Structure 1
Amino acid sequence: MNPTLLNVFSTIHLLSYSTLLGTSLYQSFILTKLAYRSLPRSSFISLQKAVFPVYFRLQTGLLILSAVTVPPFGLPFGGWSLVTGRSKWDLIPFCVAGMSGALNLGVYEGRTRRLMLERVERDKRLRDSVATVYGAADSVERTEGPSDEMKRLNRLFSKNHAMCIHLNLVTMVAMLFYGWRLASRISIEVL
């Protein structure tokens, strides 16, 4: 392969992998935590509703770009180089991250968002109806506790949200493992 082309693909690979890992770590451990602490609940929910679909699509796109530019073969043979390369250990983290990312993007993110919105809507309807009758909507949930329907929604939301979190963590661990493998192959020449 042309050395210039190899350098271009290697650079794209390193940048896409670095962006994938950095974005995942920043979104998961910094941005979400800061937003949760700093924003009112309704604003936090609106932010999450807008951010996570984009985040999971970006994560998937960067994962694919990283996989198809794995050195030494680059884009034309990208996926094939993972399968036929010197070590199958480079294939495993991409498969694991790809499967967990696909589950998050295709299944759990949508379920979690839908359940989150159902909970908010149910809570809003309850507060509106109580405010109409009693004039004080804030104390109803505290005195009566959540309804059976709200408990069911909370349980489903918690289960799906936990899956999203764990699948995202699996993706990050797989990419950290690949980063360890990648770093062991990088050679630095001192001029």
Structure 2
Amino acid sequence: MPPMAFIESWSLASFLAPLHLLSYSALLGTELYQTFIVTKVCYQELPRSAFTTLQKRIFPLYFRGQSLLLLLTAATIPPYGPFTLQASKGNWIPFVIAGVTALLNLTVYGPRTRKIMIDRIHQETRDGTKSTGIDVELSDDMRAFNRSFSRNHAMSIHLNLISIGAMAWWGWKLASRLDIQSL
């Protein structure tokens, strides 16, 4: 193929499509793996203190990575990158949903949950009891921390699941556009 023919056959869409597929796959794979595999295995296999230490370090990284991969995925939508989102509501709605939920976890519920988790550990030290003791009388402060943690953690979990659902919706739309006859 002569060099000029190669340049003429190159298009933005042919450059963006593989990048989009890779970034989307990394995003959804990371979300599913972190949510359903890593967290469950660590919760079951690690002592509570080690699990807490791991979670307070891994989730800020996860939420940042999720947000960056979401931006990269939106920026590489073929054929025109982010301008493709303007073509129809069906294109941008899953990205808005995933973006809002990821941003809330990155800036509000993730940090808040992490702080309360650390505050509970300090309160356990002050009280001399565990925050989840079955036959232990919990202090008023510990009960307040537990309620606050439960609310914020549940919100973070639900936001994460909504983000996964939005990206699965985008994956369905993406897959429905494949031309299987030419594969």
TM-score by length of 1: 0.85
1:69 alignment counterpart: 76
Q: What is the alpha-carbon distance in structure 2 between the residues aligned to residue 106 and residue 143 of structure 1? A: 36
**Coordinate RMSD, CA, aligned:** 1.8
Structure 1 consecutive aligned stretches of length 4 or more whose deviation exceeds 4 Å? 141-144
The residue type equivalent to 1:167 in the other structure is: L
Q: Hey, what does 2:16 align to over in structure 1?
A: 9
Aligned counterpart, 1:56: 63
Q: Which runs of 5+ in 1 are unaligned?
A: 128-136
Choose from 149, 152, 172 the match for 1:180. 172
In structure 2, C-alpha distance between the alignment counterparts of 1:118 and 1:37, rounded to whole Å: 23
Residue of structure 2 equivalent to 1:82: 85
1:167 and 2:159 matched: yes
2-structure distance, mates of 1:102, 1:118: 23
Provide the C-alpha distance between the structure 1 equivalents of 2:98 and 2:134, rounded to a whole number of angstroms.
42
Cα distance change, pair 142–25 in 1 and its aligned pair in 2 (3 A)? closer
Q: Distance in 2 between matches of 1:164 and 1:144?
A: 28
State whether structure 2 residue 65 is matched by structure 1 residue 45. no
Q: Deviations over 1:21-42 (max 9, x none)?
A: 0100010011000000000011
Matches within 5 A, 1:51-130: 51-73=58-80, 78-83=81-86, 85=87, 87-127=88-128
Q: Secondary structure at the match of 2:94?
A: helix
- C-alpha change, 1:13 and 1:149, in structure 2 (3 Å) is same
- For each residue in 1:102-161, what CA deviation from the matched residue of structure 2 results, as whole angstroms up to 9, or x when unmatched? 00001000000000000011102222xxxxxxxxx68xx665511111000000000000
Identity %: 49
Unaligned stretches of 5+ residues in structure 2: 1-7
1:143 and 1:13 map into 2 onto residues whose CA distance is 53
Opposite residue 105 of structure 2, the aligned amino acid is N
Q: 1:6 to 1:146 in 2, by over 3 A?
A: same
The Cα of 1:88 is off from its aligned counterpart by 1.8
TM-score, structure 2 normalization: 0.89
